A and B are shown apart, each in its own frame.
Chain A
């Protein structure tokens, strides 16, 4: 004999199973894609990272040799250094400038749409075109950037020729595509409740205090998102720099522009060292995971989610 409670529980669990079935069914296209095109290749690259593999012949097991070499290869260290330098400059600069532009957009009134489109347009320029364009813009002798600096009495540096200025030049180029972030920040700024700022004004807060203590906490979730995504993208920079310095003939300054993914690409597809390149990919994966974990840990101190209490 079954009680009413048991019958209710059974029908609820049947309902949950049906719900799970339908959920999985609808998720299955994405799951299949993820398994075949993301998880599968990732696991394959993990396996290959323990082998000597040139694609043209069978992989041969080498154990941890590739990982040991990662720490011995000076180019790995240098390319990581180049990449960190770029990320450390690009991420805060792009966030700061994008936030500044988004704030200006907020005050632009009816013309905001025009400016928003203008800011966003460069983000849809293909990476290769950006690389070619900026290689010209940054030319020390005839480039528009140095010509502009000359007009205000500044002798521009050798953005594409002086090893000390190659990476800052690349950072400058990267700011070209921050329209995406501007649009995200603009949407976040528009969602900040007006009453909060009004209350702050009543309490005697000036513009900076309103921005610092009302706006920033209110959009901190979005800032955190762009920080994570921006950092990951910065650590994986490839196409623009490859186009500028590594396509065709030797550029003459390759060391300073050799970013981690570029070196990985060279190892895999120029030198046929797919095993070593796979180990490099996994090292970057671990680095990104660590940086992201640190950012998530630190976010508890400054990111505010309205739905959360306490």
Chain B
């Protein structure tokens, strides 16, 4: 009798396990449905439907304006937004239960991972059917959403890295902006030491903020390297160029007493406020994404800064690094025609120009300085800076515009890969270990390379 009960229990558990796996809607059909026939031409007036969009909100004017424009142009399409950052956990749960949203707004670094796992619809057919000219987008942005020759996402913004120089700190240290040479690492470290300031063990100013660990790929690129091969299958984290770049960038924390001191200080910055680190003279020269110039213009229009392009170590050519978000359609999304129309509309040149106009009015209405709207759409950027943006007379921000537009042209990006998040975690952890003096740059990057390569191999095996 005992054995009977035990067998029954085992049989029940086995059946439940099999059922659990078999009932997973995501597991039932591995064939991507990207081959669905897209509508050739869509009439905005007659298109009907309800779109669920995850990872996008209307809490800023640029977002709100574009949603309003879409709702006006497509009166019979209802858009249901789930604001806040895109949530992987929620998305995976929705996919597992067979109820994914229609459109997702995700970091471009994750597009490759999702595409490799068949979670996104390739957009080639939709792009062709609706005559969307993808050449309007910056190359670096479109490359990040192109996996094995197929486009899986429509780029939204293009955030590029620029150097923001604090003129007040430069004057205090009797230095000239023209003397800042990013290709001369020895000179840069000397400048860093001159600009850094501490008193009784307390950091008062970071001379040069290299942006590690976040900008590790950018540092690698500026030294002629890359963290991944062009096809995204091979980790190059242990390449001499990347190791040397990380080694130097980590050493820029030395003048303030190392990473611990730096973190203690930087964690106290009023990053988005009117008492930000440029206003309070807490940074000499810092690498930031260009949107931060907009923040400074908005919250502290009187701040005295100069925006300069970063340059390669060898040759001193302008270089930047592009990152940002993209729109994508999940596999098994409900109405893919409406979803693609939405993505196309939200990134269209006219939509961006109208949103930029709304943003300018809003910022100027509040007494701030409109420093421009930078998108991943090159054509839109050209029109925004021709038709909407007007020099403000504030040299700090007026000069920045040209630098940022040039940085878009000079930007490189990391190619998509099937293990984007794991590769990112590997180089982040490695850079942290170097910053904390736990490992040398060589040891840390070799270790990271192994971890990243293993993840890439496992992910590509999974694809097969």
Contact = CB atoms under 8 A, between A and B. Distances in A.
Interface stretch (B20-28, B34-42, B240-248): B20-28
A249 B323 CA distance: 14
B428 A55 contact: no
Interface in B350-379: none
B267 A57 contact: no
Contacts of A19: none
A258 to B, nearest CB: 9
A271 interface: yes
Nearest to A43: B16
A250 B21 contact: no
A51 B21 contact: yes
Contacts of B261: 158, 161
A162 B451 CA distance: 25
Nearest to B110: A270
A269 B92 contact: yes
Interface string B211-238: 0011000000000000000000000000
B410 interface: no
B264 A56 contact: no
A86 interface: no
Contact of B259 (A58, A161, A255): A161
B92 A56 contact: yes
B253 to A, nearest CB: 10
Interface in A28-53: 40, 43-44, 46-48, 51-52
B263 A55 contact: no
Interface stretch (B70-78, B111-119, B121-129, B183-191): B111-119
A142 B280 CA distance: 15
Given A54-B117, A271-B422, A43 B13 contact: yes
A253 B261 CA distance: 12
B421 A271 contact: yes
A249 B88 contact: no
B43 interface: no
Contacts of B16: 40, 43-44, 47
B268 A142 contact: yes
Contacts of A40: 16, 20
Contact of A272 (B13, B113, B432, B433): B113
Nearest to A51: B21
Interface in A231-289: 249-255, 265-266, 268-272
B277 interface: no
Interface in A141-158: 141-142, 155, 158
A254 B17 contact: no
Contact of A56 (B20, B118, B455): B118
A135 interface: yes
B173 interface: no
A271 B455 contact: yes
Given A43-B17, A161-B260, A56 B425 contact: no
Nearest to B419: A271
Interface in B417-458: 419, 421-422, 425, 428-429, 432-433, 435-436, 438, 455
Contacts of A122: none
A147 to B, nearest CB: 12
B92 A270 contact: no
A158 B202 CA distance: 12
Nearest to A35: B16
B432 A254 contact: yes
A139 B432 contact: no
A271 B114 CA distance: 11
A131 interface: no
Given A43-B16, A141-B203, A252-B435, A55 B421 contact: no
A179 interface: no
Given A55-B92, A55-B96, A266-B425, A252 B17 contact: no
B263 A47 contact: no
Contact of B264 (A44, A160, A251, A272): A160
A265 B421 CA distance: 13
A163 interface: yes
A59 interface: yes
B462 A57 contact: yes
B265 interface: yes
A44 B22 CA distance: 11
Nearest to B16: A43
Interface in B85-122: 88-89, 92, 95-96, 113-114, 117-119
A265 B432 CA distance: 21
A162 B260 contact: yes
B30 interface: yes
Contacts of A271: 419, 421-422, 425, 455
**7 closest cross-chain pairs (CB), A and B:** A47-B17, A140-B264, A58-B27, A44-B20, A161-B263, A56-B117, A161-B260
24 contacts: A44-B20, A55-B26, A55-B95, A56-B95, A56-B118, A56-B331, A57-B27, A58-B21, A58-B24, A58-B26, A58-B28, A158-B261, A158-B263, A251-B263, A252-B263, A252-B435, A253-B263, A255-B433, A269-B92, A271-B419, A271-B422, A271-B425, A272-B92, A272-B113
